[in-house]
Amino acid sequence: MEGANQTEGSEFLLLGMSESPKQQKILFWMFLCMYLVTVVGNALIILAISSDSRLHTPMYFFLAISSDSRLHTPMYFFLVNLSFTDLFFVTNTIPKMLVNLQSQNKAIAYAGCLTQLYFLVSLVALDNLILAVMAYDRYVAICHPLHYVTAMSPGLCILLLSLCWVFSVLYGLIHTLLMTRVTFCGSRKIHYLFCEMYVLLRLACSNIHVNHTVLVATGCFIFLIPLGFMITSYARIVRAILRIPSATGKYKAFSTCASHLAVVSLFYGTLGMVYLQPLQTYSMKDSVATVMYAVVTPMMNPFIYSLRNKDMHGALGRLLQGKAFWKLT
Residue 57: its pLDDT value, please? 46
Residue 71: its pLDDT value, please? 41
Whether 304 contacts 83, CB under 8 Å:
no
Q: Phi and psi for 126 in degrees, rounded to 5?
A: -65, -45
Domain residue ranges in the chain: 21-60+70-317
Phi-psi region of 206 (alpha: psi -120 to 50; beta: other; left: phi over 0): beta
Whether 148 contacts 140, CB under 8 Å:
yes
Predicted model pTM: 0.83
Per-run averaged pLDDT (10 residues), the chain, 329 residues: 48 77 85 92 84 54 37 76 92 88 82 91 92 89 83 87 95 93 78 81 84 86 88 88 79 73 80 68 64 82 73 69 52
Full DSSP string of 279-296: GGG--GGGHHHHHIIIII
Residue 329: its pLDDT value, please? 47
Question: Rounded to whole angstroms, what are the CA distances from 10 to 151, 159, 170, 198, 232?
Answer: 52, 41, 26, 19, 46
Residue 2: its pLDDT value, please? 43
Residue 247: its pLDDT value, please? 78
Superfamily of domain 21-60+70-317: Rhodopsin 7-helix transmembrane proteins (1.20.1070.10)
Residue 307: its pLDDT value, please? 62
Residue 192: its pLDDT value, please? 77
Residue 277: its pLDDT value, please? 64
Q: Where are the alpha helices (DSSP H) in the chain?
A: 2-8, 21-51, 73-102, 110-143, 148-151, 154-179, 197-203, 209-219, 225-242, 247-275, 287-291, 297-307, 310-320
3-state secondary structure 158-192: HHHHHHHHHHHHHHHHHHHHHHCCCCCCCCCEECC
Type of residue found at 67: S
Q: Are strands 189-190 and 11-14 parallel, antiparallel or unpaired?
A: parallel
Q: How far apart are CA 295 and CA 274, in angstroms?
A: 14
Using alpha carbons, select from 269, 279, 234 the residue that is nearest to residue 254: 234
Render the burial of 198-207: b for 16+ CB within 10 Å, e for the rest.
bbbbbbbeee
